[in-house]
């Protein structure tokens, strides 16, 4: 019995680790502490980062903050939130500006600058890795979950919800793709 | 033309003369959304003042297998675009296009000039010259060909001076907004404008800068974006006007459109149908249709695409019966080698409106700067 327990402990990770994502690899969505928004759906989050949502419920302008072009954190966020690569997102933002949108995303160089920007701008929304959160900003629940919760949708290295098929199949057709993770 | 050019220059001067909010020293103390003091150090440049200037251009090479039609290079449109956020709620934009007419002379047009007041997502009021909200294509794509996946607009949405049957531009007032309802987002559009008139000398309809008949053109549109399918947009619109026709009885027009557009990750697709109704006073009604369906799939920097379109206009239809009907497929590939530069190579098979079906090859270089 002892030998089996030792073997299981050695081979298999703890059950908790199996059921929840590594919180340090999750992207936390952060807003200013004065922002009344506490939760967003994945669809709302996507619309905000695609500049389709211009205002928060309190009337403040939504200001999207991204890491600099070429940084891994930016690539991760664009893929997880928008389902886009860098070139496609750049083209999309140009097109939005051309359509009359006058509030393009801002860029910052580091997680520290991201937190500082969000701290100073009440309408800002950005992201950091879960282990980079501090008390100067507030973390928003995405689809009702926080980083570290089971089913949190923004985990680095995991395909976006749309790519996994969680959107189209269960919600529209009541089906689940083989191998797709149920949220 | 001189008046249009003057208007363009005046508009640009006004826009350039108004310093952006940040340049006026907006506080960075957390009371507004001004960029963080460190933002100006960022190489990305997004923290720069919000006077946004963009340019677009395109050059084509075209070969047609019709007898007597040589292959040719063609200079496309030079688009100068300026927009500025004047206050939190007010913004302005101007789009000025310079292009060659068939006679080789440069023409300058103010394609859009808009002042927008937007107190929230639920309302954007615009006044000036805008692209009408008929269907999807005309609101999604303006004059920068770089943004269009395929070289050339669908025939039914061609610009007025390129033989298009629809009022693509309008001078007037527009109200639109987005509302979140359970399970989806709803977007509405209402527009009231001067409408169109038939330009007999040029042979196409043209937006009236000053209303000629007192009847205002009205357009209403509704679109939904279901939360369950990101990137999907469905909608419909209806446009009505009464168009003067150079000494003949005026023509009542109605353009109804329905569309489906999907753009997500590497895949994009659009399908749109437009019903064109014309009735000259005291005469019978005519109903024509135009549609297109197109799709593209990205593989890295390469994006193969396909379009099929059809625009059938009965020759005795008032106004637009004089325009060409078009139908046929387009097959091509778009390559984005670097930054905002795109190369599109495509084959088109054109039937219907020409004496016999022709095949055309187009190579387009489109870029933004």
Task: Identify whether A83 is part of a domain.
Answer: yes
pLDDT band at A23 (very low <50, low <70, confident <90, very high): low
B229 in contact with A at a CB cutoff of 8 Å? yes
* pLDDT at B139 > cutoff 50: yes
- Looking at the domain assignment, is residue A144 inside a domain? yes
**The pLDDT of residue A22:** 55
Residue B260 to residue B236: CA distance in whole angstroms = 9
User: A69: nearest CA in chain B?
Assistant: B44
Which among A65, A49, A95 has a CA at the least distance from the CA of B47?
Answer: A65
How confident is the model over A128-155, as a mean pLDDT?
92
Q: Is B321 an 8 Å CB contact of chain A?
A: no
User: pLDDT tens-digit profile of B58-68?
Assistant: 999 999 887 88
Domains of chain B: 119-368 (2.40.160.10)
| Count of C-beta atoms within a 10 Å radius of residue B248 | 14
Average pLDDT estimate for B240-259: 90
Nearest CA in chain A to B51: A102
Inter-chain touch B228–A117, beta carbons under 8 Å: no
pLDDT confidence of residue B14: 39
> Cα(B271)–Cα(B298) distance, rounded to whole angstroms?
18
User: Distance between CA atoms of B172 and B367, rounded to whole angstroms?
Assistant: 31
Residue B342: pLDDT band (50, 70, 90) is very high
B344/chain A closest Cα distance in angstroms: 16
A133 in a domain, yes or no? yes
Give the residue numbers spanning the domain of A96: 21-157
The answer on pLDDT for B1 being more than 50 is: no
Is the pLDDT at A28 greater than 80? The verdict is: yes
CA distance B198 to chain A (A): 28
- Which has the higher per-residue pLDDT, B124 or B196? B124
**What CATH code is carried by the domain that includes residue A66?**
3.40.190.10
Note whether residue A73 is domain-resident.
Answer: yes
Would you say residue A183 lies in a domain?
no
For residue range A93-125, list pLDDT tens digits in order: 988 888 888 788 999 999 999 999 999 999 999
Residue A180 lies in a domain: no
pLDDT band at A6 (very low <50, low <70, confident <90, very high): very low
Lowest mean pLDDT among A129-133, B213-217, B307-311: B213-217
**A2: in domain:** no
pLDDT cut 90: percent of chain A above it: 50
CA–CA min distance B254, chain A (Å) = 25
Give B48-59 pLDDT, tens digit per residue.
446 788 999 999
- pLDDT, residue B333, reads 97
Confidence of residue B148 (pLDDT cuts 50, 70, 90): very high
Contacts of A113 in chain B (CB under 8 A): 36, 38-39, 42
Element of type H or E holding B83: strand B78-85
Q: Which residues of B touch A47 (CB under 8 A)?
A: 185
- The lowest-confidence range among A152-166, B124-138, B325-339 is A152-166
Residue closest to A57 by CA, chosen among A37, A38, A75, A34 = A37
Mean pLDDT estimate for chain A: 78
Q: Residues B206-224: what's their mean pLDDT?
A: 84
| Cβ–Cβ under 8 Å, residues B160 and B134 | no
pLDDT for the residue numbered B358: 83
- In whole angstroms, what is the distance from residue B217 CA to residue A172 CA? 39
In chain A, what residues touch B132 (CB-CB under 8 Å)?
none
Contact B149, B305 (CB under 8 A): yes
Q: What is the mean pLDDT of residues B124-148?
A: 93
Element (H, E) at A73: helix A72-77
Report the percent of chain B where pLDDT is more than 90: 54
B319's tokens: 């106004």
Task: State the total domains in chain A.
Answer: 1
Residue A34 lies in a domain: yes
B350 vs A121, residue with greater confidence: A121
Nearest CA-CA distance, residue B1 and chain A, Å: 24
**Does the structure show a pLDDT above 50 at B99?**
yes
Q: Is the pLDDT of residue B120 over 80?
A: yes
DSSP assignment of B229-280? STTEEEEEEEEEEEEEETTEEEEEEEEEEEEEEEEETTEEEEEEEEEEEEEE
CA angle B290, B295, B301 (to 5 degrees): 140
Task: Identify the pLDDT of residue A65.
Answer: 96
State pLDDT tens for residues B4-53. Answer: 444 444 444 433 433 333 333 333 333 344 444 434 333 334 444 467 88
The larger pLDDT score, comparing residue A27 to residue B212, is at A27
């Amino acid at each position: 019995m002892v030998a089996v327990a030792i073997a299981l402990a050695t081979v298999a990770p703890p059950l908790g680790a199996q059921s929840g994502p590594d919180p340090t690899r999750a992207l936390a969505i952060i807003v200013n502490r004065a922002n009344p928004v506490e939760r967003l759906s994945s669809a709302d989050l996507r619309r905000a980062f695609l500049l389709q949502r211009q205002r928060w419920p309190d009337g403040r302008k939504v200001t999207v903050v991204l890491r600099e072009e070429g940084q891994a954190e930016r690539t991760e966020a664009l893929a997880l939130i928008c389902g886009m690569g860098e070139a496609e997102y750049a083209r999309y933002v140009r097109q939005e500006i051309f359509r009359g949108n006058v509030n393009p995303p801002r860029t910052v160089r580091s997680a520290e600058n991201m937190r500082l920007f969000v701290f100073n701008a009440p309408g800002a929304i950005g992201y950091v890795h879960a282990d980079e959160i501090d008390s100067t900003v507030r973390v928003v629940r995405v689809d009702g979950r926080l980083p570290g919760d089971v089913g949190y949708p923004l985990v680095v290295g995991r395909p976006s919800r749309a790519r996994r098929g969680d959107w189209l199949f269960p919600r529209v057709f009541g089906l689940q793709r083989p191998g797709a993770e149920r949220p | 033309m001189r008046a249009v050019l003057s208007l363009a220059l005046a508009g640009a001067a006004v826009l350039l003369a108004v310093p952006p909010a940040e340049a006026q020293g907006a506080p960075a103390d957390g009371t507004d959304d001004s960029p963080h003091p460190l933002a100006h150090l960022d190489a990305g440049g997004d923290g720069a003042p919000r006077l946004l200037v963009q340019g677009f251009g395109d050059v084509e090479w075209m070969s047609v297998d019709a007898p007597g039609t040589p292959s040719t290079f063609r200079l496309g449109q030079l688009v100068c675009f300026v927009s500025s956020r004047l206050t939190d709620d007010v913004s302005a934009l101007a789009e000025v296009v310079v292009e060659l007419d068939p006679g080789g002379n440069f023409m300058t047009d103010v394609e859009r000039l808009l002042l927008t007041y937007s107190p929230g997502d639920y309302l954007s009021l615009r006044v000036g010259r805008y692209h009408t909200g008929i269907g999807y294509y005309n609101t999604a794509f303006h004059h920068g060909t770089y943004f269009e996946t395929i070289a050339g607009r669908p025939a039914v949405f061609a610009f007025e001076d390129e033989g298009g049957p629809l009022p693509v531009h309008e001078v007037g007032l527009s109200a639109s907004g987005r509302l979140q309802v359970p399970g989806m987002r709803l977007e509405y559009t209402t527009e009231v404008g001067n409408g169109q008139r038939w330009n007999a000398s040029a042979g196409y309809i043209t937006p009236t800068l000053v209303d000629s008949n007192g009847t205002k053109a009205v357009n209403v549109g509704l679109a939904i974006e279901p939360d369950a399918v990101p990137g999907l947009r469905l909608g419909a619109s209806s446009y009505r006007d009464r168009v003067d026709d150079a000494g003949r009885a005026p023509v009542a027009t109605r353009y109804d459109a329905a569309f489906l557009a999907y753009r997500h990750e590497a895949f994009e697709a659009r399908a749109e149908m437009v019903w064109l109704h014309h009735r000259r006073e005291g005469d019978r009604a005519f109903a024509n249709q135009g549609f297109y369906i197109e799709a593209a799939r990205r593989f890295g920097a390469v994006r193969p695409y396909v379009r099929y379109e059809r625009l059938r206009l009965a020759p005795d239809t008032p106004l637009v019966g004089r325009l060409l009907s078009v139908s046929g497929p387009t097959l091509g590939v778009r390559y984005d080698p670097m930054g905002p530069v795109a190369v599109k190579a495509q084959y088109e098979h054109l039937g219907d409106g020409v004496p016999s079906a022709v095949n055309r090859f187009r190579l387009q270089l489109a870029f933004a700067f």
